[in-house]
Structure 1
């Protein structure tokens, strides 16, 4: 489809969904930023974890990034220096919602794991206060609906679809480029998972993906935020899937005020995700554009790594490398750069008033990440 036809199709979707968007923009918030009583729910969640045999070092605080700002995000922070190797959190096995370990069943794949976990989550939601996991369920109920792209508005999904283009390694044989980052949930879980004796609301699948670890939902631990590179400062032992639980330890010496981070795709239990997950997949599964370094696994053009370099004067530059020295073709990179420029000029710049704020800002961040990656890798291409 040429750019004119693509833009006309985009305008048609904008018109058809205008009534939806005008009622959704003002109510679409990033849930961890909402002043919705979450602080109280977090306190109850931690008390429940402690009562179940867990522990939390007194130097660890689960709080908002800015304690004076009730709209800033939640995370785990240390309020005093910590030495490398010290135990910070003990997560008891009793608080995890976890399906049977699929490692002994060769025919269990990722989709089946998520499906089973989603049905378990649905059961606990329906039990409400009678659930053995009630403090965690109450916390989850306060989280945002629609954070991952699969649950976005139609117009937000369409614009992301346009931006995504041909970037992801994952190919679900969809009809259009980039559709996997938007439509994968439906293609992976409907009808095999959503309609088993009953109807499973896609909300449960989305929540199991966004908050889960393949076969487990892990309260409190899932409040640690993601980072890559040298920002990662925590590590788990033994496996997070251990039936008796696990500990979270300082990976290095920590200074007072530091936030605890771990990598969602480069961790001891992440298996092969380091080779198939990158920045696009992080957006797909968690609904945000990760901080640098970035990684892009391309269908036909290898893998690009991009990192941010901050000079003493605060200026930033970006450095790219290619896996095994195999960089994309120069012709492909220049074509993609031109394509992204057209998308920014013809669609992103004209869409702000039609798309929920969080979706629009996330799409802009993702577009910039792709543009920076192409610009950084171009000098390496032939």
Structure 2
């Protein structure tokens, strides 16, 4: 896996690197903006949203957790997923190459933010992200995520954590796997599936995460939403329990030709109560397919019976990876909680994936980089 990434980075020119960085920024910022947009109306019915915000529904950021632009656990976990992927790349110099373990360790660092009052300066292996004080708040993390990360036992596909958990808790943190553009789609899918099983053991939950990562992967490589979704369907065919996820993707693709976009179209894609990850995936893919622009796609993604934060997160990640950061609404980005941290992490990820050998290797490494992303 690492050789594939190194080979890809070696042939990238400056323009390609800049395009990749824009898509990484777009994906992470877009997911966070969609999360923040949906957080203010999460779990509300369409009728309740219209009563609160008018006939057009929610059209702008609205306060959640005491402020506009606040993000939920979905964004927190996505950031720690990126941190884990960077750490995996850094640790490969030691011969310890097992990305699911590094992502799991990163998610355990997130779990500490849900228990502790603030960063533990005694933990020298925390790196910079776990020392960001703004992350030490609880923003409605799914129960399965908390219980799955309540101990240090690594859930696997053979022994997944929470085998009945089917919600979108693992799905909403899975966009970063798709940004591994030097990997082949089947490896991206496998990594996302293995990491999702660490908290969400129902096949529909972890296969939705795998499919979503493959779609983001295609978009980050410059493909269309439809082509990327069909590739994701193909990746699922040999995996047990894939039928609900493949059907949900098929419904999203077919629904584009069934009438005007709106809450009724989203409701037709499946349950909007947040219990099934594959339904949230279908809504996001549909919204990305029919979006006239990023803002319109995000508004569509959050104006339904819920879970608006999850579908906003997923849609934002897709549209951001598709169009890059400059397509995101600047007024929403300006109010986004944690924006400096998100941008810093996005740029670090892009630099690691394109210039990693210049930052660290078996013989030498940049001390500042290892302070940010320790090998321990």
Q: Structure 1-normalised TM-score?
A: 0.24
- The structure whose residues are more often helix, as a share, is 2
Q: Structure 2-normalised TM-score?
A: 0.24
Question: Which entry has the higher C-alpha Rg, 1 or 2?
Answer: 1
